[in-house]
Amino acid sequence: MPLMVRLSQALQRHLAEVEVTTAVQARAAVYEHGVPTDRDLLVVDGPLRGRQHLPRALGYIKSHRSTYLPSELNALVAALTPGQRTPVFLMGTSWDRHSWYLRLPGPPGSPWAGVVRIECSADLPVPEVIQLAAMSQKCLGRFASAAYKDSRAPQNLYPIAGLERELRRRLGDPRLLYRALRVAARTNGSKAAAT
């Protein structure tokens, strides 16, 4: 396996571990402020895979690279109005989970504009899954971004955009980072050629 692929996979594993640790710490902090344990909701940016064990957690998928429903049901997704969601369905690909589509508030556009897919653990009882779906329908729209603030609106939720902005700021000037990466690659390339 090429070095870059191994490095990328190691980084992704480490990021997943940090995300789980951060989610557990954030949830503990919420409980310390008196929020009832059945009233919180943890929304994870991206699929829930590897994090299904987190209580009341939802995966938030902004892009649609795969089709999970038959074409006649995809037409139902395209017909959703802002704030509406599809019924919950069980997905069984490489791992099982419950899922539903939700259209966020925003200006009209293409048939799937503003549509996100939400997922939760397949291990949850159906009444709890339906409760989570209803809660996502009620809550997520208020965090949908506006086009004048984010080119990925409305799918890129304000908290996610804020986190991305803060992480970019912490990385510093991208030109300096790029130059440092080029120097490191050149140095490592020279060492590899010498051996």
- Please report the DSSP string for 110-142 in residue order: STTTTEEEEEEETTS-HHHHHHHHHHHHHHGGG
What is the reported pTM? Answer: 0.81
Would you write out the chain's pLDDT as a tens digit for each of its 195 residues?
787 788 788 888 888 888 888 888 888 888 788 877 777 888 988 898 888 888 889 999 998 888 888 888 889 999 999 999 999 999 887 789 999 999 999 888 889 999 999 999 999 999 999 999 999 999 999 999 988 888 888 998 998 888 888 888 888 888 887 888 888 888 876 665 666
91's CB contacts (< 8 A; 6+ apart) are 68, 97, 98, 99, 119
Domain boundaries, the chain: 1-38, 41-156
Tell me, what's the pLDDT at 191?
65
**DSSP-derived secondary structure letter, 37:** T
